[in-house]
Chain A
Amino acid sequence: MDATQTKEMYTEEFLINMGPQHPSTHGVLSLELKLDGETIRNCTPHIGYLHRSMEKIAENRTFTQFIPFTDRLDYVASMNNNLGYVMAVEKLLNLEISERAKYIRVIIAELNRIASHLIATGTFAQDLGAFATPLFYCFREREKIVEIFDQICGNRLTYNYMRIGGVLADLSGEIIEKIKEFIEYMRPKVDDYDELITYNVIFLARSKHIGVLSKEMAINYSVTGPNLRGSGVKWDLRKDEPYLVYDKLEFDIPVGENGDAWDRYKVRIEEMRQSLRIIEQAIESLPQGEVTVRVGRILKPSASETYFRTENPRGELGFYIVGDGSVYPYRLKIRSPSFSNLAVLPELVKGIKVADIVCVLGSFDVLMGEIDR
């Protein structure tokens, strides 16, 4: 029903609280919806149900002690959060890490990107009513990645693997074989998703032209990650501000055309393919050597400040660290991608149906852990 039709048929508006306990608000997000029948007139997101004062905690922890806390920011992509934080600290300390550690970090970060996008894909399909089947398929594939991570660091969800000056442990030959096997296993699975979900008629009808985010709006709201690329902006820190060894590896940046929910979903599917390419190349050219450089037990950066951002599966993750010459940071600010991505949601959902808000929210792939910090 478009706007002209709704003008003739106008019912009493009513408020509905979607969340914090709701199957498709992806955690403890609460949306206050003002509905006219099934049409949304207004939407106000309420956040803060998962607030743990991460930034304040950081002021009372040494730089090394804070690494496990970053696991709990974006708990679906812990490795990438670890990476962003330790690289910010390394930048503050002017620390150069070994070549092998750089490659290992790239491999691990890209594996976790695939795991994260798998969850995004599965839950998005679930939100559109494809009950559980795509979700289970995605979790089956993610399980392989989690097993690899379990083997390298002993944890399945919060890894605490990246260390200031390198990584916790070297990749053994056995693990490298496992990763190679996973690449072979994963390639046809991504094609399967295209067959099962991407080009399904109902799926297309539900996600095409829904929640269209224009280029300008995406930039104005500082939307980042696959959501920004879905709107057709070719911006990826791995290409535009290369860190680690991304400039030595060959990969494409997939972008969408219309900026609708389907484009955002499709960008994630394509990024999984690109991540597989990156991992393959990185394993090919993995140099020998140490995986950690020796850093002192007590890290005392000089009184200075630094900002470092990395490309997380959900967008740009930035760490702003101010050191005051002590072992603790004076201030640590986290720029989490989901927080900015969620901000644009109310603009996109006005005038669409209740069913579509689930679709738009699912396509944004927000994660409450890093919004509330």
Chain B
Amino acid sequence: MLSILTIIWALIVGIIVLGFIAASAMFLIWWERKVSAHIQSRYGPMRVGWHGVLQSVADAVKLLLKENIIPAEADKLVWWLAPFIAIVPPVMAFVVLPFGKNLIVKDLNVGVLYLMALSSVSVIGIFMAGWGSNNKYSLIGGMRSAAQIISYELPLIISMIIVAMQAGSLSMQKIVLAQAGCWNILHPNMAMAFIVYIIAATAEINRVPFDIPEAESELVAGFHTEYSGMKFAMFFIGEYTNLFIISAIAATLFFGGWQGPILPGVVWFLIKSYGIVFVLMWVRWTFPRLRVDQLMGFAWKILTPISFVNLAITGWLLLK
């Protein structure tokens, strides 16, 4: 009996999480289009619903109805699997995101480690897409992506470790509770860790100024050049879910998570997360793109040393 109840409960939670992911991705796509439009002195989508809010729904329907073209020379198995592998890690990451005091799927005691592991998996999907398409542009995109994500993994992980050290736990809820008095961002070493985190995370999800894997002006569309219809949509949803996740992690690790006065925790959590999302969108529509070697140089020569020094300083502060 108990096991059946557990399964039903797991299904309900799964449906809620998937529903949130779909809704959030659609909202973010619409919002990104609106933000970019207003930055560029135009309106963006206006026709479908109030100020085009339903535009993403219309696009999703369009993508569902599209023909699924498989390139003749593609490595079919790899090509088919790639979008699924790209979208599963971001979905899995929702397990440890603390939306509220009790609103968390499962507060794993290795939450932060779990997130680090997942962020490494998503690169495999991108690389498979680049390889499986059998297209030179896609291949270059996939290779760039692999190199980039591996390089930026290090500063990303170290900045997350700094937070875990301060809280004394890898559990996301304990990290939030450790910030009850004072948000992490208010400590100078944590603020530095946040800057490193947000730069590395932007690179991790391939957004401007680190969008070289899909650099439109160079590689047409990079690793997803050959994908159409729902397969393309899966990459797209994965990308926007990742955008939400890195912002949510930043909100949890550095901005006190769901904690805040008056409003309920989940509202605070969403306000903080979408606030960081907005900053990332702002950056995207303002900056040019770095070149691949400059990107690598930046990761290894600047970000990684900074995060190691920061790690040492934090350790010293804790032992003092």
Contacts and interface: CB of A to CB of B under 8 A. Distances in A.
Interface of A: 1, 14, 16, 22-24, 38, 125-133, 136-137, 140, 196-197, 200, 202-203, 205-206, 353-356, 358
19 contacts: A24-B217, A38-B292, A129-B215, A129-B288, A130-B287, A130-B288, A132-B285, A133-B36, A133-B286, A136-B40, A137-B41, A202-B290, A203-B288, A205-B290, A205-B291, A206-B288, A206-B290, A353-B293, A358-B218
B288 A23 contact: no
Given A136-B40, A200-B287, A202-B209, A131 B216 contact: yes
Given A23-B217, A24-B217, A355-B215, A133 B39 contact: yes
A130 B285 CA distance: 7
Given A126-B217, A202-B290, A354 B140 contact: yes
Nearest to A354: B218
B289 A128 contact: yes
A137 B39 CA distance: 10
B147 to A, nearest CB: 10
Nearest to B37: A136
Given A14-B136, A133-B40, A128 B216 contact: no
Contact of A355 (B136, B208, B212, B287): B212
A202 B287 contact: yes
B81 interface: no
B172 to A, nearest CB: 33
Given A24-B217, A205-B294, A131 B41 contact: no
B239 interface: no
B208 A140 contact: no
A349 to B, nearest CB: 13
Contacts of B286: 130, 133, 196
Contact of A38 (B140, B287, B289): B140
B226 interface: no
A292 to B, nearest CB: 39
B11 interface: no
A124 B285 CA distance: 15
B46 interface: no
A355 B39 contact: no
Interface residues of B, number: 30
B36 to A, nearest CB: 7
A46 B287 CA distance: 32
A129 B289 contact: yes
Contacts of B287: 129-130, 200, 202
A354 B137 CA distance: 11
A75 B212 CA distance: 32
Nearest to A129: B289
Nearest to B286: A133
B153 interface: no
A132 B144 CA distance: 23
Interface centre among A14, A16, A126, A202 (most CB of B within 10 A): A202
A202 B289 contact: yes
Nearest to A38: B292
Given A131-B284, A206-B291, 20 more contacts: A14-B136, A38-B144, A128-B217, A128-B289, A129-B211, A129-B287, A131-B216, A132-B285, A133-B36, A133-B39, A133-B40, A133-B286, A136-B42, A137-B40, A197-B288, A202-B288, A206-B294, A354-B218, A354-B219, A355-B289
B220 interface: yes
Contacts of A133: 36, 39-40, 285-286
Given A24-B217, A24-B218, A1 B293 contact: yes
Contacts of B289: 128-130, 202, 206, 355
A172 to B, nearest CB: 29
B218 A355 contact: yes
Contacts of A38: 140, 144, 292
Nearest to A127: B217
A128 B288 contact: yes
A23 B220 contact: yes
Given A14-B136, A16-B136, A129 B209 contact: yes
A356 B291 contact: yes
Interface in B212-230: 212, 215-220
Q: Which of B41, B42, B287 has the most CB of A within 10 A?
A: B287
A22 B284 contact: no
Closest 4 CB pairs of A and B: A129-B289, A136-B40, A24-B217, A130-B288
Contacts of A354: 140, 218-219
A22 B220 contact: yes
Contacts of B209: 129, 202
Contact of B216 (A16, A23, A136, A353): A23
Residue from B42, B136, B137 with most neighbouring chain A CB atoms (10 Å) = B136
Nearest to B219: A354
Contacts of B219: 354
A129 B40 CA distance: 15
Interface string B70-81: 000000000000
Contacts of A1: 293
A39 to B, nearest CB: 10
Contacts of A206: 288-291, 294
B248 to A, nearest CB: 25
Nearest to A196: B286
A200 B289 CA distance: 11
Interface string B113-148: 000000000000000000000001100100010000
Interface in B268-317: 284-294
A24 B216 CA distance: 8
B314 to A, nearest CB: 28
A31 B35 CA distance: 35
Most buried by A among B212, B215, B291: B291
